[in-house]
Every structure is written in structure tokens, then in C-alpha cells.
A and B are shown apart, each in its own frame.
Chain A
Amino acid sequence: MASPSLETRDLTIRFGGHVAVNGVSCAFRPGELTVIVGPNGAGKTTYFNLISGQLRATSGQVLKDGRDISRLAPSGRARAGLGRAFQLTNLFPALSVLENIRLAVQARAGVGRQFLRRAAAHRDLVAQAEHYLEATRLTRAAHLPAVALAHGDQRKLEVALLLAMEPDVFMFDEPTAGMSLDHAPEVLELIAEIKRDTARTVLLVEHKMEVVRALADRIIVLHNGALLADGKPEEVMASDLVREVYLGKRGAA
């Protein structure tokens, strides 16, 4: 088994008296897609925020390829290979769709500091941005400001930014939430494609059970901030405890 690309050790955060993530220890390996489930308020988004650095842990560590990155700012963690898409759409509203994606491309390429050449003259950057534009079928909207997109297209752009970062670890937070039925499969197909690349690690927060079944190599269940279950999809979905706190409550499965 490959060594973990991402690991959390006893990761905990308190907001006042409320423990939103409570001692979560978990390792994620390349080539593995882990779906994180749990009822609303379970701490899934907060867990992501702790990993990608938007929040600082009260205690515990985040390790990337064995290196402790708990003290790094979000930008440092991104450069260390962690990529993140947000549950609540989080874009650059007045910038064009193409510019949004190019920002992700040039961050990875490390050309953000160049100011003597026109961005359009960096043909390679533009070509890569156009590639992800194509992949998310946003080409026709390339020159529209992000704010002018329909909600579903904004969600796709959110995904496109993460893809364009080309990180080692992809973190998707409910990528298809609020997306129409014809757009969701496009996004899921993109995630399935990443999964086929065995060097990548994928974390996916997702509620839809058919998605979980189709994509998950592994499921972890968060409940009240704590890790409740961790295992193969069929094991976890069969567990009585999980059915009770999560699946039962939602009446799904």
C-alpha cells in the first residue's frame, strides 16, 4: 500500500465550547477516492477548512507526504499540493471565466509575479486554461464575468479552478449541490477521471448515495465532529450504527 499523501492526527477545533471537529485521525493514499458523509453540521466542511488552512486547528496536525503543514497559511498548503473546491461558490466575481481559471493555472506554474509580459502572450498558460474551460464545458462563457453565470455554471467553474490547480490531493465539498440533473453527471465524470490517475488522492463530501456507490473506494462518516466509521463502502453502509445516525435519519439508502 502506498504511503499516505495526506494525514490528519487528532485534528480538533473548538469554537468556544463547541467542538466542531473532534480528534479526527485519518490517512489518505494516492489512487484512493474517499467519500466523507455525515449529517449537516457534522463538521465535514470544517474538517476541510482545517486541512487546507482556512482554519487553524486547536490541536492536532495535518501532514502532507509526511511533512507537518499545520502552521502553513492556505497559500503554502496549496503550493504543497493540496487543492480545494468550496461548498459555497467562491470565485472572483468581476473577472472573466477564463481569467478565473488562468489564475489557478498560473498559481501552479509560478508565474504570478511576472509583470512585463502580457498574460495573453503566455500561450501555454492560456492553452491550459482553455483546456479546463473545455473540460467543464464553459468555453462559450469564457469572456463573461463569473458573476454573470447561472448557479450551475458557477458550480462548474468552482470545480474547474480545482482541476486547473492540478494538486496531488483534490478536496471536493458537495460539488454537485444545487446543480441541475444534466450538469451533475458531467462533474462526476470529471471526478471519476481524476480517480483513474493513480497518483492522485481524492476527498469528496457528497450526500447522494448513488454517487457514493459509483465512486467511493472508501467511506468515512463524521458525526458531531468525530470519526464514526471508516471502511469499504459496503461495510460502512451495512453498519447498523451508521444507518441509525446518518442513513436512517435521512431516509435514504
Chain B
Amino acid sequence: MTKLGPGGWSVRLIVLAIGVALLLAPFLFPGVRPIQVAARICVFIVLVASYDLLIGYTGVVSFAHTMFFGLGAYGTAIALSQSDASWGALLIGGALGVLAALVLAVLIGLLSLRVRAIFFAMVTLAVASVALVLASQLSGLTGGEDGLTYSTPDLFSPATPLWHDAAGKTARLFGVRMDGQILAYYLVFFCALLLYLLLLRVTVSPLGTVLKAIRENEARAEALGYRVVAYRTFVFGFTAVMAALAGVLYAIWLQYTGPDTTLSFEIMVDILLMVVIGGMGTMWGAVIGAAALVMAQYYLRDVMQAAAGATAGLPLLPALLNPDRWLLWLGIAFILLVYFFPAGIAGTLTRREARK
């Protein structure tokens, strides 16, 4: 008997483990790199989860998700670099970026969600390309290809102690300096958690069922009385806002915003891969997919370096394991994943559990 459920226990356990690891990341994995990886995972969880609501739940294919991500990031970045590193600039810039994403999404939605899905996907591709070109052409505003580097409010600076120890220096907790960077990390973590929980809630709400209904049988949803175009436009706007908020978080965290970190189609492809690896239409998959791919992007080369070293005496292997070939191995890992987990990790695990 195949019982339908939002996710199996194994999936929930994996997601919980990732969540706990992210919560304790600064303490469990001290150092410069791990906290960067953890923050990127948090941001991408929101980005991927919102994309899953769009493509996995509603069945709307869009290539403009990174554009909305970029609008949030660039709004924040431009405001912070044009003025001082004040809270006012951050909030106004972020809010304008999110608003721009919403307005643009609703316009695209109203103009083109009535047409066939393939045509809609093409429209989003075109608009996203224009945004990418604009970002590099309007270099006075956006910094062009180089992007923008700026300061965030002092509170987020690594030089700012959150509190002092007895000697008057930055306090340490379990050996970790309690500075502005820790605060920035937890801002990112808790905002991402909140947004993710909101997205999770949407999927089990009455609206969530309507979105799945539209994916499953659009004409039937319409015949029951649901205005499909209005629902699609709503979810397109809603997920654009989520992506833009993720962009704001990323801009605050990196103190740098450029085409490579927020707008490029490489990121769009990353998001698609994360959704597929995690499991489309599962929402849990966003956490698994984002964590898996970001980890691979940061650590696969190190692992290969070590493996190449360990096999140094053997023929052929060291050459194959050369860190420069990491993309090849990533590709192989992806193909194996899709082969053994055709519905993504969360999707396939849930199905297997349901079959028992």
C-alpha cells in the first residue's frame, strides 16, 4: 500500500541532522571556510525550497529564479555601497530589491502565465538574460563584472566583539570568538530557518494542495473553481520574494555582490541540480540537495587531492583523481545519484519507506 505522506522518517532524520549541523556549525567546525560553506547552504536552502514550490509543487518551469535572488542582493548591495554602512541603507535597499522582484514577477506572471508552459519558460529565460546583461552594462551602479564590495553595519564586522571577557578582549564560547561574524551567521541561519518553515507550511496548507492540483491536472482545478492563472501568478510572485530575501541575506553575509554570486546562469543550474538531487516536490529535498551540492563544490577537490596523494604510487589513478577533474567526478556522482534515486534522495527514500 502506498500511503501518501510529506516525507519518510529517514528523510526527516537526515534533514534534522543537517539542521543541527548548521545550527552548531561555528562550534563544530571552527575555521574560516566551514562557516562560509554553512552560510551558503542556509541561503541556498531558501533559494532551492522556494524554487521547489514553483517547479516541484506547482509545475511552473522558470529560469528567472536567480534573477530574483540577484534583485534582492543587488538592492542591498547598491544601497550599502552608495551610502554609508547604515541599518537604514540596508533595510531600504533590501526592501526595494524585494519589491522590485515582486513587481517584476507579477508582471511576467500576468503577461505570460496564460500561455503554454514552454513559452513561459522561454520568457523567463529572456528576461533573466536581459537582467544579467543590464547588471554588467550599468557598471556605474552595479560594478559591472567586478560586482560591488561594501561594508555592512559594524555589528556584523569580525572586529566587533559581542561581549567581552574578564580581560576586556572578545569573549570566547567553547573556544569560538563571539564577534560580529558569528552574529551575521546566526542572522542568516535563523532568517533562513524562518523562511524555510514558512515554505514548508505552505506545502501542507489548503493553498499547497491547490498548487499540487494545478501541477497534476490544471483543467480539472479550473473546473472546480480555482482560477489557475491567478494561483500561478501568486506563487510566482511569492517565490520571487523568497528568492529575493535569500539574496538580501547573501549580500549581507558576503559583503560582496556580483554576477557570479547571485545572477549567473551557473547558479540557476546549481539550483536545478539541487532540486533534482534532493527530490522535486518534496520540500525536504531542498535541504538535502543544497547541503550535498554546496559541500561537493567546496570539498570535492580537497577529497580528490587527498585521494590522489594516497594513490600516488599506482598507475592511472592519481591522474584520474587530479583535483582539476573534480567537475568530471561531480558529473559521475550526479549520474549515479539520478540512477539510484530517480525521484531524488528525499523522494526515493520516502517511496521506499512507503512501500514497506
Q: Do A and B bind each other?
A: yes
Q: Report which A residues bind B (CB closer than 8 A).
A: 52, 54, 73-76, 78-79, 84, 86, 90-96, 99, 102-104, 106-108, 111-120, 122, 125, 143-145, 148, 161, 165
Shortest CB distance A229–B (Å): 29
For the complex of A and B, 8 pairs with smallest distance between CB atoms? A78-B225, A115-B207, A92-B216, A107-B225, A115-B205, A107-B224, A115-B202, A74-B222
Shortest CB distance B214–A (Å): 9
Note all chain A residues with C-beta closer than 8 A to B212. Answer: 92, 94-95, 99
Note all chain A residues with C-beta closer than 8 A to B231. Answer: 112
Q: Report which B residues bind A (CB closer than 8 A).
A: 1-4, 201-202, 204-210, 212-213, 216-217, 219-228, 231, 234
Asked if residues A95 and B2 are in contact (CB atoms below 8 Å), the reply is: no
Asked if residues A111 and B206 are in contact (CB atoms below 8 Å), the reply is: yes
Asked if residues B226 and A73 are in contact (CB atoms below 8 Å), the reply is: no
Q: How far is the CA of A6 from the CA of B223 in the complex (A)?
A: 17
Asked if residues B4 and A96 are in contact (CB atoms below 8 Å), the reply is: yes
Asked if residues A90 and B220 are in contact (CB atoms below 8 Å), the reply is: yes
For the A-B complex with A75-B223, A75-B225, A78-B224 known, give 16 more contacts whose Cβ atoms are closer than 8 Å.
A76-B227, A79-B225, A91-B217, A92-B221, A93-B216, A94-B216, A99-B4, A103-B210, A107-B224, A114-B205, A118-B201, A119-B204, A119-B205, A122-B206, A144-B3, A165-B224
Known contacts A78-B224, A94-B216, A95-B213; is-contact A106 B4 (Cβ 8 Å) = no
Of the candidates A54, A75, A113, A148, the one having the most CB atoms from chain B within 10 angstroms of its own CB is A75
Q: In the complex, which residue of chain A has the Cβ closest to the Cβ of B203?
A: A115
Of the candidates A93, A106, A148, the one having the most CB atoms from chain B within 10 angstroms of its own CB is A106
Asked if residues B220 and A75 are in contact (CB atoms below 8 Å), the reply is: no
Of the candidates B3, B202, B225, the one having the most CB atoms from chain A within 10 angstroms of its own CB is B225
Q: How far is the CA of A4 from the CA of B114 in the complex (A)?
A: 34
Note all chain A residues with C-beta closer than 8 A to B2. Answer: 144-145, 148
Asked if residues A91 and B205 are in contact (CB atoms below 8 Å), the reply is: no
Q: How far is the CA of A74 from the CA of B283 in the complex (A)?
A: 31
Asked if residues B206 and A73 are in contact (CB atoms below 8 Å), the reply is: no
Shortest CB distance B163–A (Å): 36
Q: How far is the CA of A161 from the CA of B202 in the complex (A)?
A: 23
Asked if residues A103 and B217 are in contact (CB atoms below 8 Å), the reply is: no
Asked if residues A78 and B207 are in contact (CB atoms below 8 Å), the reply is: no
Note all chain B residues with C-beta closer than 8 A to A84. Answer: 223
Asked if residues B216 and A112 are in contact (CB atoms below 8 Å), the reply is: no
Known contacts A95-B213, A144-B1; is-contact A125 B226 (Cβ 8 Å) = no
A-B contact pairs, 13 of them (CB 8 A): A76-B227, A78-B224, A79-B225, A93-B217, A102-B209, A103-B213, A106-B209, A111-B206, A112-B206, A115-B202, A118-B204, A119-B205, A144-B1
Shortest CB distance A111–B (Å): 5
Asked if residues B220 and A91 are in contact (CB atoms below 8 Å), the reply is: yes
Q: How far is the CA of A106 from the CA of B209 in the complex (A)?
A: 10
Tell which of A73, A92, A106, A165 touches B227, judged by Cβ atoms closer than 8 Å. Answer: A73
